[in-house]
């Protein structure tokens, strides 16, 4: 059997968006019977929250949709760790730039909303940290809306 694809979702702090992306996409892979093909994780480009829990607002949204973030502990992604993953999924353009600067190859780097439209402009999953709960609800729906297309890409579009 092929080795699982190791996917990391990346945001800035690894407490709001990327942990939610991890559980949303894993949940969708489980629903589709694809979970055994993947190892999902998440990380932040910043170091402020290393070892910390998911933001309470992200945890609450996850719980509202039947997902669990209680086990999440934030980690930072750094150049020395890149070999731990096969694919990198950035939440926004800044995260993408940070990953490229770290040495992630452009062929292994996707945006979370990569497949949402045919336009060349790929939208961000905006950082909800400084806003209210609506930003977290919006983030959840953006993640959910993009989960299947990402999974399809990984299972069909890659070797």
Segment lying near ligand 4NP (by CB under 6 A), choices 7-15, 105-113, 116-124, 147-155: 7-15
Residue 127 Cβ vs ligand 4NP, minimum distance, rounded to whole Å:
5
Contact call for residue 15 and ligand 4NP (CB under 6 A): yes
Name the residue nearer to ligand 4NP (CB basis): 129 or 153.
129
Distance in Å from the first CA to the final CA of the chain: 14
Contacts with ligand 4NP, 27-66, as mask; x by CB under 6 A: -----------------x---x------------------
- Interface with ligand 4NP (CB under 6 A), residue total 11
* Complex with ligand 4NP: residue 34 or 102, whichever CB lies closer: 102
Q: Which residues are catalytic?
A: 11, 17, 127
| Residues at the interface with ligand 4NP (CB under 6 A) | 11-17, 44, 48, 127, 129
């Amino acid at each position: 059997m092929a080795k699982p694809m190791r996917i990391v979702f990346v945001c800035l702090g690894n407490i709001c968006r990327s942990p939610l992306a991890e559980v949303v996409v894993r949940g969708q892979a489980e629903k589709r019977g694809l979970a055994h093909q993947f190892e999902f994780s998440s990380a932040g480009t910043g170091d402020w929250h290393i070892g910390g829990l998911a933001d309470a607002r992200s945890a609450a949204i996850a719980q509202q949709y039947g997902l669990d973030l209680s086990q999440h502990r934030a980690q930072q992604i750094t150049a020395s760790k890149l070999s731990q993953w096969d694919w990198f999924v950035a939440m926004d353009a800044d995260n993408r730039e940070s990953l490229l600067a770290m040495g992630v190859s452009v062929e292994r780097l996707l945006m979370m909303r990569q497949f949402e439209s045919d336009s060349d402009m790929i939208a961000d999953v905006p950082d909800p940290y400084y806003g209210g709960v609506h930003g977290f609800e919006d983030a959840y729906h953006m993640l959910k809306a993009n989960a299947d297309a990402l999974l399809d890409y990984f299972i069909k579009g890659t070797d």
